[in-house]
Structure 1
């Protein structure tokens, strides 16, 4: 699979479109976890709260990515009680790492490929797992997103690539 030319869009915070896009991605990160939580351990297994953060950050840059990364878990917690308050710090760290990794890789490569999306997902999970280990002191807990959440990582990579590939055609 070859890489496609890709033009990330970096909207400023003074552009109203930044906020409209952020709201749309946050809404996706509110709805998708609710659907996944219908499956036992669906949230832990499918990692749905990260999906739209990946898309937002890779295509629309660090600003929209970080807004999505930070507000999605907070809104989910306030509206639905998930993630639980104890999990919020780690989730916020991992979401932010995803936003930074995705925006950086997209900006530097100006390409989208399965490989680049996989690198993005592996990078945020690896660094995030180290942060989670430092915070929790529990190796099994720190590795849970990688072991139990492996299907979710594959979904992020494959469906993230398919969506970003389709967005590569559009100059937003």
Structure 2
């Protein structure tokens, strides 16, 4: 399913980039806190990535990268989640997500479910390989594919819905 949607490519020199990134970071702080009230909510729902995906896809790589880096760092500093040991892998995946989502939006200029699925599959696959290189454990690196399928589906369908219907501007 595909609809016409206005996509942006904001730059770092624009104040709007920082205000939007701050809103998406706030979302990436609140949603993980809600998910962590449920047993295994974080690893299952992968909430720290949703607003990074939406921000990068709708407003470009700059908003996405600011959100991707600030969200895990602030969550870790404020709430201890993600744990400091998990930050490198989460920052890697978050950064990959911002870059891939920003690229897909700029390249294809549309927001379809297959594109969102491809973005999520791409960042998770490359991120898992990177996490494997960081940790030395394929089992640990593949956790999102073992436990986080609901979160990946939330990213695909929720991200697509947010970009297409919730953010009308």
Scaled by the length of structure 1, the TM-score of the pair is 0.95
Q: Which residue of 1 aligns with 2:60?
A: 61
Within 5 A, what are the aligned runs for 1:80-159? 80-159=79-158
Question: How much does 1:147 deviate?
Answer: 1.3
| Aligned 8 A contact 1:26 1:68 in 2 | yes
- Residue 169 (structure 1) shift: 4.4
Q: Counterpart of 2:6 in 1: which secondary structure? A: coil
> Match of 2:50?
51
Give runs of ≥4 in structure 1 deviating > 4 Å: none
Instruction: Summarize deviations over 1:54-113 as a string: whole Å, max 9, x none.
Output: 000000001010000000000000000110010000000000000001000010001111
| Conserved 8 A contact 1:5-1:110 | no
Structure 1: 5+ residue stretches without partners: none
- Quick one: structure 1 residues 124 and 37, their matched pair in 2 at CA, closer, same or farther if it must change by over 3 Å? same
1:10 aligns with 2:3: no
Unaligned runs of 5+ in 2: none
Equivalences, count: 169
C-alpha separation in 2, matches of 1:98 and 1:147: 19
